[in-house]
Amino acid sequence: MNTKILPILSRRSIRTYTRQPVTDDEVRALLEAAMSAPSAMATDPWRFLVLRDRAALSALADILPHGKMLNEAPLGIVVCGELARAHRQELSYLLQDCSAAVENLLLAAHLLGLGAVWLGVHPNEDRVSGIRARFGVPEDILPLAAIAIGRPAEHPAPRTRYNAASVHTGQW
């Protein structure tokens, strides 16, 4: 294993958090990292809904069946996409760009000493419509992932999921 990629291998999903808040500077850094992701033709179609209010975080936890850790997290960010701004207005480009932004945000959280977990929203229609209704997200904006963020209260070990069977070299 090349230790230079350790910051990537040691990013793990963190689902329990201490009571310490996330600072404004850290929120800004997370968003800056997310918006530094690659996007097709640099269209940057991502939009972000930042939630720090306890009632809002609990409401999001109610909408996401596997997002109950939001009840304890000091910060939640819903990553959304604006189809009209995506390359060729294609959903596939929107999803690829926004997924890159999510991963950048997760890695930035880890580098900042925070812990975070990706929570699936799209393509579950009940989650998408629940978020739209509760947070006033317009119809032309697609909520596609939520991220619970806080200071880690668990420290899972770095691991590799390298699988040689997934690699085809030269020809399939």
Ligand X SMILES: Cc1cc2nc3c(=O)[nH]c(=O)nc-3n(C[C@H](O)[C@H](O)[C@H](O)COP(=O)(O)O)c2cc1C
User: Could you tell me which residues come within 8 angstroms of residue 23 by beta carbon, excluding any fewer than 6 positions away?
Assistant: none
Encoding tokens for residue 102?
Answer: 């999510």
Q: Toward ligand X, which CB reaches closer, 28 or 134? A: 134
Among 120, 132, 135, 153, binds ligand X (CB under 6 A): 120
Binding region for ligand X (CB under 6 A) out of 10-18, 23-31, 48-56, 79-87: 10-18
Q: Does 10 bind ligand X (CB under 6 A)?
A: no
* Alpha helix segments (H runs only) across the chain: 6-9, 24-34, 54-63, 91-111, 125-135
The strand pairing partners of 51, in sequence order, are 76
How big is the site for ligand X, counted in residues (CB under 6 A)? 9
Q: Does 13 bind ligand X (CB under 6 A)?
A: yes
Among 66, 84, 90, 138, binds ligand X (CB under 6 A): 66
User: Could you tell me which residues come within 8 angstroms of residue 1 by beta carbon, excluding any fewer than 6 positions away?
Assistant: 9, 160
Q: Toward ligand X, which CB reaches closer, 84 or 156? A: 156
In which residue are the tokens 């690699």 written?
Answer: 167
Q: Does 150 bind ligand X (CB under 6 A)?
A: no
Which residues between 67 and 106 bind ligand X (CB under 6 A)? Answer: 67
Q: Toward ligand X, which CB reaches closer, 6 or 84? A: 6
